[in-house]
């Protein structure tokens, strides 16, 4: 159990190191984006491709997917550079899994300063109609958009980029 937690912590540190330079970009994109009445309304159309699916790039050049987390819809940015499932504080609150503020710990130091996060457990994660069961996640303080990283993508199959389309699975 301790080894698994250490591996998760190392992955989380890599995630934050990768994300730190883009947190300002994510925040500015969110501020510039029109307000959405519901995260469900902004979900892209999944295009069936055999046993996999494809997601079209949005107008900001990003790939988003509508997932179900703990039986609630949640829009996630597909981030092949992220290690795992990273939730914004707002999304964790909506899902009812916001950690106690005392559980946040400094998980990394970057040029932008210290990064804080807290480990949480998701009871159920569904992506593109596939129930992936429980999943570990981290709530990252200051994260503007929740992310779906490699630990989830590996469970869905190979990931390839074809033009403006991200193909997941076979």
Token pair of 102 as six digits:
């005392």
Q: Does an H or E element contain 73, and which?
A: strand 72-78
* pLDDT score of 81: 86
Among 165, 126, 170, which Cα is nearest to 46's? Answer: 165
Ranges of each domain in the chain: 2-30+44-168
pTM above 0.75?
Answer: no
CA distance between the termini of the chain: 33
Question: Residue 127 and residue 152: Cα distance in Å, rounded?
Answer: 9
Question: Residue 111 and residue 93: Cα distance in Å, rounded?
Answer: 28
Long-range contacts formed by 112-116: CB under 8 A, 24+ apart: 112/20, 112/21, 112/23, 112/24, 115/16, 115/20, 115/140, 115/141, 115/142, 116/140, 116/141, 116/142
CATH code for 2-30+44-168? Answer: 2.40.70.10
Question: Residue 169 and residue 167: Cα distance in Å, rounded?
Answer: 7
* pLDDT score of 156: 95
* pLDDT score of 16: 40
Query: What torsion do the CA atoms of 60, 64, 69, 73 make, to the nearest 10 degrees?
Result: 80
pLDDT along the chain (170 residues), means of 10: 41 42 40 39 48 92 97 96 93 96 87 90 95 96 94 95 92
């Amino acid at each position: 159990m301790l080894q698994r937690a250490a591996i998760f912590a190392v992955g989380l540190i890599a995630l934050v190191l990768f994300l730190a330079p883009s947190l300002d970009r994510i925040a500015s994109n969110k501020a510039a984006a029109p307000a959405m009445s519901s995260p469900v309304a902004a979900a892209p159309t999944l295009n069936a491709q055999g046993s996999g699916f494809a997601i079209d790039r949005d107008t900001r050049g990003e790939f988003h997917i509508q997932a179900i987390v703990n039986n609630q819809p949640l829009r996630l940015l597909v981030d092949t550079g992220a290690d795992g499932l990273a939730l914004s504080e707002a999304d964790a609150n909506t899902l009812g899994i916001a950690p106690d503020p005392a559980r946040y710990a400094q998980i990394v130091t970057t040029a932008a300063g210290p990064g804080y996060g807290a480990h949480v457990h998701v009871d159920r994660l569904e992506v593109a109609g596939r129930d992936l069961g429980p999943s570990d996640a981290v709530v990252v303080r200051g994260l503007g958009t929740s992310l779906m990283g490699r630990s989830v993508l590996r469970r869905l199959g190979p990931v390839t980029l074809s033009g403006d389309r991200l193909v997941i699975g076979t």
